[in-house]
Structure 1
Amino acid sequence: MSREILVLYYSYNGATEQLANEVARGVSRVDGMAARVRTVPRVSPTIEASEPAVPDAGAPYAEHDDLEECAGLILGSPTRFGNMAAPLKYFIDTLSGQWLSGTLANKPGAVFTSTGSLHGGQETTLMSMMLPLLHHGMLITGLTYTADDLLAETDSGGTPYGASHVSGTLGDKPLTDIEKKLARNLGARVAETARKLARD
C-alpha cells in the first residue's frame, strides 16, 4: 500500500500553492506518510497556446500514475465564480479511465481553496471539488469545529469543508497562522485516515 498522499492543486498568483505546501507539511507530520505535491498546467481559450511540458518552477505537473500510486488525494484550487478553476477541472475531466477502474475508490479525499475576499465563494468552491471525488468513490475528510478550533479561532480562512485562505483582491495577503494550522491539520487528517484504512 502506498504511503503517499497526493496534494494536487492549481495556483494562479501563488496563494493556493502556499496553502498546498502547508497541507503537505501536515501530511508529513504523520509517521510513515509522505506528500507528493503536483500541479496542473494552465488552459487557454486559444487552441495554439500551450504550457511547457515541464513547469518553469514549483511542483511538477500531475500524471495519471500519481493517482494510481497515492493512498489519498487532496485537491486545491482558487475560486472562479464560486467554482474550481478550469485547469483543475480540465485535469479531472481526463480521469474517465481511473473512474472506470475504481483507482480512487475507498481512499480518503479532501479539498482546499483560496479566495480574494472572505465571501468570495470558499464553501461552494470546496464543494465543487468534492463532487468529482464522490463520483470516484472517495471518502471525504474535512475539518472539525472542536479539534481544529474552527469556532474559537477562525476569522479569516477555514471551514469544516476544508482548509482555505483569504488572499486579498490583489492576492498579496500572506497566510495567517490559523490558516496554516488548519491546512496542516487537513493534511494530517487525510494521512491518518489513509494509514488507518491500510491497517483494516
Structure 2
Amino acid sequence: MHDILVLYYSHHGAVKQLAQLVARGVEGVAGCRARLRTVPKVSTVCEASEPAIPDSGAPYVERQDLDECIAVALGSPTRFGNMAAPMKYFWDGTASEWTRGTLAGKPACVFTSSGAMHGGNEATLISMMLPLLHHGMVLVGLPFTEPALNLTQTGGTPYGASHVAGMMSDQPVSEHEKQLCLALGRRLAETALKLAK
C-alpha cells in the first residue's frame, strides 16, 4: 500500500471538505491510501498559540510524511492570490528536504477555495505550485477531458480543483467541484503509481 499525503490548511472548513474529497479520489485507486494532514495556525506573537496536537481533525504534518509518501496533494484557502500564511510558513521551513531531494520526482497537485468567483483561485493554485517546483515535484492538473471542468459554473480549473465558498463561506461544494476533487485525487494516485515503479 502506497501513502499519498493530502496536506491542507482550512480556516472555515471548505478546504478541509475539498481535502477529504481529494483523499476519496486517491483511495479509489487500488494500492493507494490517503494520509490526511494539516498545519497549525501561525501567531503574530512570539509564543506558541496552537496545541501540539490538534483538538480535532487531521494531525499536523511531520517531516517524515514528506519522506514516506509517494505524492502530495496540497490545499489552502485563497489569501489575495496566494496560499494562507500557515501553509507558506510550513513550506518555508522545508530547506533540509529541498537539499536532500526528498520530494524530487514525486507528483503533486493543488486545490483551493475562495470567497468569491474572482477571489484569486487560479493565482493561489499557481503560487502553491512554486515551492513544489523548487522541490523538483511533477505537477498534475485537471485536463479538459474531465467533463465537469467544461460544465462547472462554480469552481474548477486546469491548474487544480477549486471551490467558491461565498463571501460568508456558506456555499456548499457543488457537484461539479466534488467531481473535480475526486478526479484530481485519482489522477494524482494513478500518476504516483506509474512514477513509483
Q: Which residue of 2 aligns with 1:142?
A: 141
Shift of 1:49: 4.4
Is 1:106–2:105 an aligned residue pair?
yes
Q: Which residue of 2 aligns with 1:39?
A: 38
Is 1:122–2:121 an aligned residue pair?
yes
**TM-score calculated relative to the size of structure 1:** 0.96
Task: Give secondary structure in 2 for the equivalent of 1:110.
Answer: strand
1:16-35 Cα shifts (integer Å, max 9, x gaps): 00000000000000001010
Task: Give secondary structure in 1 for the equivalent of 2:29.
Answer: coil
Q: Give, in whole Å, the separation in 2 of the partners of 1:27 and 1:156.
A: 23
Q: Does the Cα contact within 8 Å between 1:148 and 1:185 map onto a contact in 2?
A: no
Q: Which residue of 1 aligns with 2:51?
A: 52
1:163-192 Cα shifts (integer Å, max 9, x gaps): 000001111111011101100100110000
RMSD (CA atoms): 0.9
Q: Give, in whole Å, the separation in 2 of the partners of 1:197 and 1:161.
A: 20
Q: Give, in whole Å, the separation in 2 of the partners of 1:111 and 1:81.
A: 17
Is 1:21–2:20 an aligned residue pair?
yes
Q: Give, in whole Å, the separation in 2 of the partners of 1:148 and 1:42.
A: 36
Q: Which residue of 2 aligns with 1:169?
A: 167
Shift of 1:197: 1.1
**TM-score calculated relative to the size of structure 2:** 0.98
Task: Give secondary structure in 2 for the equivalent of 1:79.
Answer: strand
Is 1:64–2:73 an aligned residue pair?
no
Q: Does the Cα contact within 8 Å between 2:107 and 2:191 map onto a contact in 1?
A: yes
Spell out the pairing of 1:63-82 with structure 2 (5 A cutoff).
63-82=62-81
| Identity in percent | 61
Q: Give, in whole Å, the separation in 2 of the partners of 1:48 and 1:24.
A: 33
For structure 2, the 5+ residue unaligned runs are none
For structure 1, the 5+ residue unaligned runs are none
Q: Give, in whole Å, the separation in 1 of the partners of 2:69 and 2:177.
A: 25
Q: Does the Cα contact within 8 Å between 1:73 and 1:108 map onto a contact in 2?
A: yes
Q: Which residue of 2 aligns with 1:178?
A: 176
Q: Give, in whole Å, the separation in 2 of the partners of 1:171 and 1:58.
A: 19
Q: Does the Cα contact within 8 Å between 2:103 and 2:136 map onto a contact in 1?
A: yes
Q: Does the Cα contact within 8 Å between 2:148 and 2:176 map onto a contact in 1?
A: no
Amino acid at match of 1:39: T
Q: Which residue of 2 aligns with 1:198?
A: 196
Q: Does the Cα contact within 8 Å between 1:118 and 1:166 map onto a contact in 2?
A: yes
Task: Give secondary structure in 1 for the equivalent of 2:20.
Answer: helix
1:67-88 Cα shifts (integer Å, max 9, x gaps): 0001000100000111000000
Is 1:8–2:7 an aligned residue pair?
yes
Q: Which residue of 2 aligns with 1:189?
A: 187
Shift of 1:150: 1.2
Length, aligned pairs only: 197
Shift of 1:50: 1.5
